[in-house]
Amino acid sequence: MPQNAVKFAPSILAADFARLGEQVAEAERCGADRIHVDVMDGHFVPNLSIGVPVVKSLRQVTRLPLETHLMISDPDFFLDAFAEAGSDSFIVHWESNHNERHTIQRAKSLGKGVGLAINPATPVEVLEEVLPDLDLVLVMTVNPGFGHQHFIRSTWAKIQHVRRIIQQVRPECELEVDGGIDETTAPLGVAAGANVLVAGTSIFGCSQGIETAMRRLREATE
Ligand code: DX5
Ligand code: ZN
């Protein structure tokens, strides 16, 4: 994987929601490639976060793609509303949705990018059937639901495995990792084959600011 292909997707879950617009604009100035929006329903994951109105507001303050990570049961119900609000792509979970083919086709029919996420305990084999239709695979490196968790090191082999399958079946598909990504773990993800890194706490929670955080992350993966 060429080094300059690594993309950064700051996760706003760790942002200061009272200053969300400013912080997203700063992440954009500092070279973020997309904004990762974590949507949680308190059902599929044991936490609540944000929904459609936040995407609508963010659409006014950034030109970056808004990647919407749907940690919700029955994501199909919400695709239209998020698409209308300004989401550019969707990531849905294999575990939340045993009709993922349908969800993927719905997202595509709305003209949106689509990714499938797998949790740390989910086997890579579940991807095989749908991979030809995907723009992205997200390997969760924590159990979804909360920011500021530790990267689960046993996911390393899984990232490598997914990279191998992507190269065989659909090389243009992106491989993203999400959870516990910081200066130490970002290089591990990239070495295993990820080309998109989601990072919340290590960017928006950095005491030295977003610019320093993004520079350090970038340097760590070069
Ligand atoms: C976890 C979310 C992540 C989270 C990452 O369920 O999907 O996107 O915001 O946060 P950090 O980078 O703090 O682990
Ligand atoms: Zn996420």
User: DSSP 3-state assignment of 156?
Assistant: helix
How many angstroms separate the alpha carbon of residue 209 from the centre of ligand 1? Answer: 18
Mean pLDDT of the chain: 96
d(CA 203, CA 148): 11
> Residue 99: what pLDDT?
86
Tell me which of 88, 135, 178, 182 is the catalytic residue. 178
The confidence band for 3, taking pLDDT boundaries of 50, 70 and 90, is very low
Q: Is the CB of 114 under 6 A from ligand 1?
A: no
**Residue 2 pLDDT exceeds 50:** no
The confidence band for 1, taking pLDDT boundaries of 50, 70 and 90, is very low
182 is catalytic: no
pLDDT tens for residues 14-69?
Answer: 999 999 999 999 999 999 999 999 999 999 999 999 999 999 999 999 999 999 99
Q: Provide the strand spans (E) within the chain.
A: 7-10, 35-40, 66-71, 89-93, 113-118, 136-140, 174-178, 196-199
Tokens at residue 100, please?
Answer: 């993922």
> Residue 90: what pLDDT?
98
Overall pTM surpassing 0.95 (yes/no): yes
76 is catalytic: no
How many angstroms separate the alpha carbon of residue 141 from the centre of ligand 1? Answer: 9
